[in-house]
């Protein structure tokens, strides 16, 4: 069936999650971060994801903001930057102001101009997602922002993916689901979506039962994949 609906993961897919550490590293007072910000950003993101998986499989759901703070605290300790409350707070503040990747606004406008439905489906809590959408200025090219908080479990639980056909009244194979997380794209493939993995870092394919239909280096060609 033709694609009618394009769904995007948020963090790492539309929004640059490394931007908070990168920006803070260039600000006065955070000189210790200058050499360590890439390592901190990587640790922060990995632990943030790992904690969502552990909470999902142990039925110990928490707001994504709590998970984000826990991941940062681990990353700060791992990089020997813990104990600086000012740095911690600055990094958390910047996470609410993440910018979209450069190609995102034009790509979303092309989808909307082509008559497709667009939305975010994210582990993020509604306030976090609202902050990121507003900061990036992409609210007008999104039909909806769907959060796991409405089902109380993190991706890749199928109840999260269920939110898309329930909201848009579409068949699973009408959905192009786009994520920067290989495991997320794989889970969505197993669910029945057409999937695209945005592999900006050139990482190996995850060894899982399902694979994404498409592997991209950025989001530029999404309109073409959607049939426009």
Whether residue 105 is found in the same domain as residue 66? no
Positive or negative, the CA dihedral 166, 168, 174, 177 is negative
Last residue of a domain, one of 55, 70, 95: 95
List residues bridging with 8 in a β-sheet. 120, 178
Q: Give me the number of domains the chain comprises.
A: 2
Q: Are strands 144-147 and 117-122 parallel, antiparallel or unpaired?
A: parallel
Task: Provide CB contacts within 8 A for 80, sequence distance 6+.
Answer: none
Do residues 7 and 163 touch, judged by C-beta distance below 8 A?
no
Would the pTM of this model clear 0.85, i.e. be above it?
Answer: yes
Whether residue 90 is found in the same domain as residue 141? no
Whether residue 113 is found in the same domain as residue 197? yes
Whether residue 54 is found in the same domain as residue 88? yes
Examine the residue annotation and report whether 9 is marked as an active-site residue of this protein: yes
Whether residue 221 is found in the same domain as residue 167? yes
pLDDT digits (tens, 9 = 90+) for 204-219: 999 999 999 999 999 9
pLDDT digits (tens, 9 = 90+) for 2-16: 999 999 999 999 999
Whether residue 146 is found in the same domain as residue 126? yes
CATH code where residue 170 lies: 3.40.50.1000
pLDDT digits (tens, 9 = 90+) for 30-74: 999 999 999 999 999 999 999 999 999 999 999 999 999 999 999
Task: Provide CB contacts within 8 A for 31, sequence distance 6+.
Answer: none
């Amino acid at each position: 069936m033709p694609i009618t609906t394009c769904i995007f993961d948020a963090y790492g897919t539309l929004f640059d999650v490394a931007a908070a550490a990168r920006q803070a590293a260039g600000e006065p007072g955070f000189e210790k971060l200058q050499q360590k910000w890439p390592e901190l950003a990587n640790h922060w993101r990995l632990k943030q994801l790992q904690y969502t998986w552990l909470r999902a499989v142990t039925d110990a759901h928490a707001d994504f903001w709590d998970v984000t703070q826990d991941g940062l605290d681990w990353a700060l300790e791992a990089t020997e930057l813990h104990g600086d409350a000012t740095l911690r707070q600055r990094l958390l503040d910047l996470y609410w102001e993440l910018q979209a990747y450069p190609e995102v606004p034009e790509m979303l406008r092309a989808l909307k101009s082509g008559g497709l439905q667009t939305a975010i489906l994210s582990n993020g809590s509604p306030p976090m997602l609202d902050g990121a959408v507003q900061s990036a200025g992409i609210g007008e090219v999104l039909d909806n922002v769907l959060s796991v908080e409405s089902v109380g479990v993190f991706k890749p639980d199928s109840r999260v993916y269920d939110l898309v056909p329930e909201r848009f009244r579409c068949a699973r194979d009408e959905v192009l689901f786009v994520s920067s997380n290989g495991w997320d794209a794989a889970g969505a493939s197993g669910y029945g979506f057409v999937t695209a993995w945005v592999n900006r870092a050139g990482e190996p394919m995850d060894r899982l039962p399902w694979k994404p239909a498409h592997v991209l280096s950025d989001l530029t060609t999404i309109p073409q994949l959607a049939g426009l």
